[in-house]
Amino acid sequence: MTTLLVNCYLRDAEEKMPHYRRLCTGHSYEVREVTARELRPGFDLAGISAVVITGSQWMLAQEPPPAGLVGFCRSLTIPTLGICFGHQLLASSFGATVARGERFLEFDERVELLEDWPLFRGLGGETVMRESHREFVTPESLSLIGWQLGARSDSCPVEAIRHPDLPLYGVQFHPERSGEPGVRLVGNFFTTIAEA
């Protein structure tokens, strides 16, 4: 299995990316890393089994993504996991609204799992994950575009989403920085979704 790991960081990628690489390497024969700016509709996904889109310092409520990146996201049909910014990017590419919160959130938080998705297998009805974001997908806009809501928390009404027909998932929290629950969630993505 080859995973396309999309590095969306605007700075400090050398500090952030090792967490993602570790999680992906454990489940992939190969990890092919690209930057978000390289992506466009028609990007060659031959031989790619899964896509993981990272977090970023990019604030979508203030600066929309380039049309090429939106087109790439809208063209995805293979298993994809968007994390934090990647989650927001997937939702906004399909028409959801990303809003700016009052403050930056940086803490571990209890996340309520609302659905019995394969992504959440073995996590029970709730788990603790690392929050590190200021922006979030609004629940009203998620409903309007027809995506499903799978988790929420006290600080964020949209913690996990999925496309109704395609294997596209997003999580607002950071599983790569959440210890064992995060490892399990990413493992579920690869073993129950990407390898299915």
Beta pairing class for 50-53 and 160-162: unpaired
Known catalytic residue: 156? no
The span from the CA of 189 to the CA of 1, in Å, is: 13
Write the class of the CATH domain 2-194: alpha beta
Known catalytic residue: 174? yes
Known catalytic residue: 159? no
The pLDDT of residue 196 is above 80 = no
Reported as a single tens digit per residue, the pLDDT across 162-177 is 999 999 999 999 999 9
pTM for the model stands at: 0.96
Query: Which one from 19, 133, 163, 174 is the annotated catalytic residue?
Result: 174
Secondary structure tally for the chain: helices H, strands E:
5, 9
Beta-strand (E) ranges in 75-153?
Answer: 80-83, 98-113, 126-137, 148-153
Query: Which one from 84, 87, 131, 156 is the annotated catalytic residue?
Result: 84
The pLDDT of residue 128 is above 80 = yes
Given pLDDT bands bounded at 50, 70 and 90, which one contains residue 29?
Answer: confident
Residue 36's pLDDT is: 94
193 within 8 A of 186, measured Cβ to Cβ:
no
Residue 1's pLDDT is: 87
The span from the CA of 55 to the CA of 42, in Å, is: 23
| Segments making up each domain of the chain, as ranges | 2-194
